Amino acid sequence: MAKVQTLSVKLRDSYGKKRNKRLRNNGNVPAVLYGHKQAVQSLTLSADEIEIVVRHGNRFVELIGDISEKAFIKEVQWNTWGNQILHVDFARASEHEKIHVTVPLELRGEAPGTKEGGVIKHVLHQIELECEAASLPEHILVNINHLAFNQSIHVSDLELPQGVKSLLDPSTLIVTCALPIEVSEEETKSADSAEPEIIGRKKTEEEVSE
């Protein structure tokens, strides 16, 4: 097992959008720690530290400083451009504790079926797993190097890491290689002539009148 990453945290007793914005301007990120039927604790930590851990794919960490806890990163909230972490949710967990998580499914390889006119359709983009907290994978790779024309890959076809179990129905479709769906000329004309959304038009009128 890889060495557990540590994150220095401080207890936080200030709340609100303005104070959180001030924290971020000073290079910190607001966070919360919960779980194990214990009280929720509000924290702050270095933006640089948490970004390094997240971008390296680490999700099981040890919090040190004002508190000493092991936890996994349950959720990370990014800004619109995906270049700044706004908030982090930590959930208490021990190394061998079984947890339920959702991780991305990433396609790898080139499907031979595309040379026969097939188009890759990625249907399932994430998967629910059960595993030990310290063995939490960053993502699950889906190998499409053997995906022929008119063939599919299902959850049952995945090669999961040792100790990792899928919580989805094994027959759940992940990706397929088939002919593209053609849109008829009538359907295209119908879509082009559709009225714009009333909400959008109303908003424009209101903005003009202000």
Q: Domain with 140 in it: what CATH number?
A: 2.170.120.20
State the Cα–Cα distance between residues 135 and 163, nearest whole angstrom: 8
125: nearest Cα among 164, 176, 174: 174
Domain span at 122:
100-178
Asked if residue 188 has pLDDT above 70, the reply is no
Residues 67, 16, single domain; the answer is yes
Q: Between β-strands 69-78 and 60-65, what pairing exists: parallel, antiparallel or unpaired?
A: antiparallel
- Which of 73, 93, 113 is where one domain is finished? 93
All residues at 6 or more sequence positions from 41 whose CB lies less than 8 Å from its CB, including other chains: 11, 32, 33, 34, 67
pLDDT tens-digit readout, 105-164: 999 999 999 999 999 999 999 999 999 998 888 899 999 999 999 999 999 999 999 999
**Domain assignment of residue 112, yes or no:** yes
